[in-house]
Structure 1
Amino acid sequence: MSLARRALLAVGLSLASTLFFTATYVFNRAAAVDGGHWAWTAALRYLCTLPLLLVLMPWQGGTAPVLRAMRAAPGAWLAWSGVGFVAFYILLSVAAASGPAWLVAGSFQTTVVAGMLCAPLLYRDARARIPRAAFAVGVVVLAGVLLMQVGHARGALDAHAWFALACVVASAFAYPLGNRGLLLHLERRGTDLNATQRVFGMTLASQPAWLALAAWAWTQAGAPPMGQVGFAFGVALSAGVVATILFFQATGMVRDNPTALGAAEAMQAAEVLFSVALGALFLGEAWPHGIALAGAMLVVAGIGLFAWVVAHDARRGTREAEALRGDRGG
């Protein structure tokens, strides 16, 4: 497969994952409105995700390679799952209990640029650079998201909403940082695991944290209501399994291409579009108009620009590689 096709396929897979990620905000907010404790919301998602992944593992390379990799470097797995799964989802669940779903969904789109900004902290090679073209498009997409936020806000944010905003922005950095960190760890050790195996390993490594959080939630709120368990199972299946595997597959395919990797991560901005569309089609909510509509159009334009930048960058890389082979042949 050519570099350009691989990069565009990764962007497409990440965009598909976004549709399944969107369920997180709706289900989490519904659980919070019904009185469910945020700690149960966080713990139940990953406690439910593990058995769902176990069912898939026999057809996805098995658990043995994952367990070997975890035994060889347990600290790395605990650390990166702690960042990319535990910190990410605790912060997101706290935010859902403190602010409306539109604020959480929109603010998480800071991840459009978060992964690229994390690159200099992780890498010591060419990937440490922030790809300027992709970053510029990311800023355009983020501007569109902010316009949609303004259109939805209809007024000033209260203290709870500001707290939710801070939690979501921190969560938006934790998710790509944990994913990139684990990919880099596996690369350095020469360990080849597919997307499902990586998701399974991080889910398994994070279980002690979720069990501890569940025990604390029990002391604070008692047993979770069945409605909250149902919402958590829905999030586990949609976001914890389907969306996360698609996203990890996408980022794994382009781990060596900073522009394509940033673009794949930036596709999460489409969550705002999907959440608005699903709300309008199935919940009777209003379609965006005015400033919000302008923001939505800017997000769509940004996604198209990302596809162009990725394809252009990949074609240039292919030409440079062919020229290098020609020089060596001469």
Structure 2
Amino acid sequence: MSAPRRALLAVGISLLSALFFTATYVLNRAAAVEGGHWAWTAALRYLFVLPLLLPLMPWQGGVAPVAKAIRAAPGAWLLWSGIGFVLFYMLLSYAAASGPSWLVAASFQTTVVAGMLCAPLLYDDARARIPRAALGVGVLIIAGVLLMQFGHAHGALDRKAWIALLCVVASAFAYPLGNRGLLLHLERRGIELNATQRVFGLSLASLPAWLALSAWAWLQAGPPSASQVGLALGVAISAGVVATILFFQATGMVRDNATALGAAEAMQAAEVLFAAMLGALFLGEAWPRGQALAGAALVVAGIVLFAWIVAHDARRSAREAEALRSDRGN
């Protein structure tokens, strides 16, 4: 497959993953509205993910290579699962009670620049470069997010809203950082694991943290309600299994292309649009309007621009490679 097609396919897969990730915001919001404790919301998702993934593993490379990789470097797996799964989802679940699902989804879209800004801290090669065009579009999307936030809050955020916003922003940095960190660890050790194996491995490595959080949630709020368990199962299937595997597949396809990797991560910005539609249809939430609607339009424009930048960058790289081969042939 040519580089331009691979880059655009990765962007498309990531956009599809955003649709399934949206269940996180809508179902978590439903659990919060019903009075479900945020710690149960966080822990139940990943407690369900492991048994859901197990039947898939024989057809996805098996469990043995994952177990071998974890035994070889347990510290790395604990670190990146702790950042990319535990910290990410605990903060996101805590923020779920702060407002409409589309508002939490909008705040999470700071992830469009999070991965790029973390790159210089992770890499020591060409990937450490922050693509200027991609960063510029990411800033445009964040401007749209802020418009949505302040439009919803009528120009001011109270203390609770600011705490929730900070939690979601930290979560938005933790998710791509954990994913990129694990990819880099595997690359340096020469280990090949597919997307499903990586999700299974991170879920397994994070299991002690989820068991501890479950014990704390039981002490704080007692057992979860049947409704919260059902909602968490829905999140586990849609977001924990389908969306995460799709996202890991997309980012793994373009791990060596800084612009395409940033764009694949940025497609998660579409979640705010999906969340607005699903929240209005199923939770009776108000549609964004006024400033918030203008912000949503900026997010859409940013997604379109990212797709164009990726296609342009991939075509340019292909032309440069072809010119190099021609020069060598002469």
1:175 match: 175
Contact between 2:104 and 2:168, CA under 8 Å: does it hold in 1?
yes
Q: Answer with 100-109 or 133-142: which moved more.
A: 100-109
Cα pair 1:103 1:165 within 8 Å, conserved: no
Using the TM superposition, give the Cα deviation of residue 284 of structure 1 relative to its aligned residue in structure 2, in angstroms.
4.7
Alpha-carbon distance, 1:98 to partner:
4.4
CA apart distance, 1:103: 3.2
SS in structure 1 opposite 2:109?
A: helix
1:310 counterpart residue number: 310
Instruction: Give distance in 2, aligned partners of 1:285 and 1:72.
Output: 48
Give matches, 1:18-29, under 5 Å. 18-29=18-29
1:292: how far off? 2.5
Aligned equivalent of 2:327: 327
Match of 1:196 in 2: 196
Matches within 5 A, 1:1-330: 1-154=1-154, 156-330=156-330
Q: How far apart are residue 104 of structure 1 and its match? A: 1.7
Partner SS, residue 191 of structure 1: coil
Distance 2:223 2:286 in 1: 36
Instruction: State the alpha-carbon separation in 2 of the partners of residues 308 and 47 from structure 1.
Output: 39
Aligned partners of 2:106 and 2:145 also within 8 Å: yes
- SS of 1:22's partner is helix
Cα distance in 1 between the residues matched to 2:2 and 2:269: 26
Deviation at 1:323, TM superposition (A): 1.7
* Residue 41 of structure 1, CA deviation: 0.9
| Whole-Å separation in 1 of the counterparts to 2:216 and 2:60 | 34
SS at 2:191's partner residue?
coil
Aligned residues: 330
Structure 1 pair 284–159 and aligned structure 2 pair: CA distance change class (3 A): closer
Provide the C-alpha distance between the structure 2 equivalents of 1:236 and 1:282, rounded to a whole number of angstroms: 19
Q: Give distance in 2, aligned partners of 1:155 and 1:309.
A: 33
Distance 1:123 1:147 in 2: 33
Aligned partners of 2:95 and 2:165 also within 8 Å: yes
Structure 2 residues not aligned, in runs of 5+: none
Quote the Cα distance in structure 2 between the aligned partners of 1:314 and 1:142: 24
Whole-angstrom distance in 2 between the partners of 1:225 and 1:289: 34
Matching residue's letter, 1:125: D
TM-score, with normalisation over the residues of structure 1?
Answer: 0.96
Return the alpha-carbon distance in structure 2 between the equivalents of residues 161 and 296 of structure 1. Answer: 19
State the Cα distance separating 1:155 from its structure 2 match: 5.1
Q: Tell me the alpha carbon deviations over residues 226-266 of structure 1, each in whole angstroms, 9 at most, x when there is no partner.
A: 11111110110010001000000000000000000000001
The aligned amino acid for 2:164 is A
Following TM superposition, by how much is the alpha carbon of 1:149 offset from its aligned partner in structure 2, in angstroms?
A: 2.3
Counterpart contact for 1:99–1:160, Cα < 8 Å: no
Cα drift, residue 37 of structure 1: 1.4
Equivalent residues of 1:145, 1:296 under 8 A apart: yes
Q: Compute the displacement of 1:112 (Å).
A: 1.0
Q: Which moved more, 1:257-266 or 1:19-28?
A: 19-28
Provide the rounded CA distance (Å) in 2 between the counterparts of 1:281 and 1:36: 21
Shift of 1:329: 2.2
Please tell me whether the aligned partners of residues 28 and 96 of structure 1 are also in contact (alpha carbons under 8 angstroms).
yes
Residue 59 of structure 1 and its aligned partner are, at CA, apart by 1.4
Please state how far the C-alpha of 1:300 moved relative to its aligned partner. Answer: 1.6
Change (3 A) 1:116 1:24: same
Cα drift, residue 3 of structure 1: 0.5
173-182 or 95-104, which moves further after superposition? 95-104
- Please give the TM-score of this superposition, normalised by the length of structure 2: 0.96
Q: 1:10-38 CA distances to partner (integer Å, 9 max, x unpaired)?
A: 00111011111111111112212222111
CA distance in 2, matches of 1:114, 1:34: 32
Q: Is the 8 A contact 2:32 2:97 kept in 1?
A: yes
Q: CA deviation at 1:111?
A: 0.4
Whether contact under 8 Å (1:7, 1:314) holds in the other structure is yes
The unaligned stretches of length 5 or more in structure 1 are none
- In 1, Cα distance between equivalents of 2:153 and 2:4: 39
Aligned 8 A contact 2:101 2:279 in 1:
no
Which stretch of structure 1 is more off in the superposition, 127-136 or 27-36? Answer: 27-36
Instruction: Note if contact 1:11-1:267 (Cα within 8 Å) is conserved in structure 2.
Output: yes
Deviation of the 1:70 alpha carbon: 1.0
Alpha-carbon distance in structure 2 between the residues aligned to 1:282 and 1:221:
27
